[in-house]
Every structure is written in C-alpha cells, then in structure tokens.
Amino acid sequence: MGTGMGGARGGAGGGGWVPGERWWRVPFLALASVSFLISLILLFLSAPRLRLPSVAPSAAAASAVRRGPDAPPCLAYLLTGARGDGRRLLRLLLAVYHPRNRYVLHLSADAPDDERLILAAGVVAAAPAVGAFDNVAVVGNPTAGTPVGSSGLAGTLRAAALLLRLHPDWDWFLTLNAADYPLVTQDDLIHVLSSVPRDLNFIDHTSSPWVILNRRFIEYCVLAWENLPRILLMYFNNIIQPQEGYFHSVICNSLEFRNFTVNTDLRFMQRDDPAQAEPPFLSWEHYGQMVDSGAPFARPFQENDPLLNQIDGNILKRRSHGPVPGAWCSGRKRWFGDPCSQWGDVNIVRPGPQAVKLHQYVNQTLEEAKSSSNSCRR
C-alpha cells in the first residue's frame, strides 16, 4: 500500500485537495469540514452503551488503579463481532481482561438485542471485577457489521470516541475481532509494553485493518483539530474497505505522527497465498510456530476450536468460567473457584514464560521500525 497522499491506496488520490485548486472548492471543503466536525462532536458526547446489570462500581477500586507515565500502561480494547458472536466475544473478553484496562464490546446491528443483553449479563457473571472497576461497556446502538463500506470504520471511530469520553486515561487503543485470540496474558503484555515508548503506533502498512494506536493519535482522528483526518475520512467513506487504509493514510501523512509508527499489527497470521483476502483458519499444525513467534495475538480461529482450549490450558492458564489469572487475582485456587473473584493490588503484574518471547518479538519489530523501508517515516 502506498503511504503518500498520492498513493493508490494510501492517500486521497493524485487529485487531492491542495493549495491551487479552483476557488469554488474552498467553500465546499469548509462546509464539509464544519459539518463533519459537528457530527464527530455529537458522536463523542452521545455514544450510547448498555448498562451492565447489577453493577455497583467501587470508588475505592477505581482509585486504587495508578495512571500516568510512571505507572504500567492502560490498554483500551475494542472487541467486535457479528450476529451469533456473543459467546465468542465473552470468551475473548475473559482472555484479555485486566482491571487496569478498558473495554468496549460491539455486536453489529444484525445481532438481536437479546444477544447483546445476554452478553452484558454474561460479562458480570463471569468477571465480578467488572462491577467494581466499571471498565467494560457494551454498545447499545451498534453500527452494521458488513466487511465493506463505511460502517466498520464508523463503528471503530465511535467506539474510540466512547472510550475517550468514559475513560480518558488509557495509553493504547487495540482492535480485536471475535476470530482473534491472545497468545500471552495481560500481565505479560502490560509488562513488556511498560518498556515501550507510549507515543508509538503499531500499524501494518500493507493494509491490515487491525491496529494498536496511542491515545494522542486517536484523539487526533476523533477530534480532528486539523483538516487531514476530516479530508481523508470523506475520501475513505467512498471506498470499499476503508478500514484497510484510513488510519494508515492519516498517520503516514501527518507531520506530527508519521515518525512514530511500527510496521506491524502484533498478530500472528498464516498466509499460504498472499493474494487471499483473508488468511486461512489456524489449526493444530500452526500451534508450535504460533507460540514460538512471540506475537501477542493470533487470528483467525474457528469458533470453539479445540486449539483455543490448548492456548487456555498451556499458555493463559485460564479456566473456562473466568478470566485469565494474573497477579491482581488474590482468591484461592480451587477446582470450582475463581481466583479472580477477589483481588489485590492491580498495579502489580507478574509476567510468565511467554513474556520472554513477547519481549524478543517486540524488540525485533522496534529494530525493524528504524529502517525507512519498514515505516512511513520521512
């Protein structure tokens, strides 16, 4: 994918709006920019969510979470799925849950309201910490879930706006799909990311739609204090798959952010044929390579694939009815008990063996990012 403004997929086309255009385009652009800005402000202020049932947030628990540059990073997750993906999203949430983090769950508009309500109830039942830390939201008025068109990008920006409005204290925004699954614990991931500069953005420049973006860049895209995000959004709203190019084009054409990119989405995928639109489902034959890669996430998995149980048991140590145990879980480990039903200091993380591979993986990607051929730096 091209990374310049004139690239076929990486920019706004060879005839973009630049100084020297005909004078009559100026008022049109101004009107469109103002209209778009108003729409984003309304979206930012009114993004709806479902209230989780029987949740009583604890002020003491929330105040116990340390934030800031001297504290472990806080991750903001967007977990997305379509009709019938409610159980997969719940499992994915439990696999990546940590009280320090923030989460938005989005089941697309083709899913019935009952599925969203069941998902919300399942979250509270499976992870009691959610009630105390009030860090999970289920989108109550979703966008369409089609892989083409502007709805997917609109849903991502809307979820980002919701996270900024509810919890403006996170460091990175991560997008995961129901077909994704982690290969490391959140203790592993938070520990490794603690040594990574928080102004970096992990984004595959070859048009992968899954991204890990820092909060400052998300604010730039949502609040759009410059024209670039607005202009490119108007352009990408008219292409088939805008999520494969919008964030990439904004960041690579922004003087403020283009020098802070790492050319990877931190996911393991097996592409037998580069021409395939989607990589094939992962299977047992990929397990060793997948784990040894050190990548924190992998995709795509089939629903209820036994391979997920292998990851739960061997890597995450997660039981089927609760979140992945971490240093924050202080309950006793029993056969029918959930050690994460009680918690201690959530600012402490205890990395496991997979953190060593993750650290090597991240260090390698950071070294590669220094090469001009592996970033959009100018």
Residue 117's CATH number: 3.90.550
Higher pLDDT, 29 or 63: 63
In a domain, 194, yes or no: yes
Residue 340, domain member (yes or no): yes
Provide the pLDDT confidence category of residue 277 given band limits of 50, 70 and 90: low
* Range(s) of the domain holding residue 345: 74-371
Question: 197 or 148: which carries more pLDDT confidence?
Answer: 197
Compute the average pLDDT of residues 234-252: 85
Is the Cα torsion angle 34, 154, 101, 60 positive or negative in sign?
Answer: positive
Tell me if 258 is assigned to some domain. Answer: yes
In a domain, 52, yes or no: no
pLDDT of residue 152 exceeding 80, the answer is: yes
Is residue 312 assigned to a domain? yes
Residue matched to tokens 């102004």: 199
As a whole number, mean pLDDT of residues 134-143 equals 89
- Residue 40 within a domain: no
Overall domain count for the chain? 1
Instruction: For residues 60 and 63, give the distance between their C-alpha atoms in angstroms, rounded to a whole number.
Output: 5
For residue 51, is it within any domain?
no
Q: Is residue 168 part of a domain?
A: yes
Confidence at residue 210, expressed as pLDDT on a 0 to 100 scale: 84
Angle, to 10 degrees, between the axis of helix 186-193 and the axis of helix 354-369?
40
Beta bridge partners of 137: 104
For residues 256 and 377, the model is more confident at 256
Residue pLDDT, tens place only, 87-126: 999 999 999 999 999 999 999 999 999 999 999 999 999 9
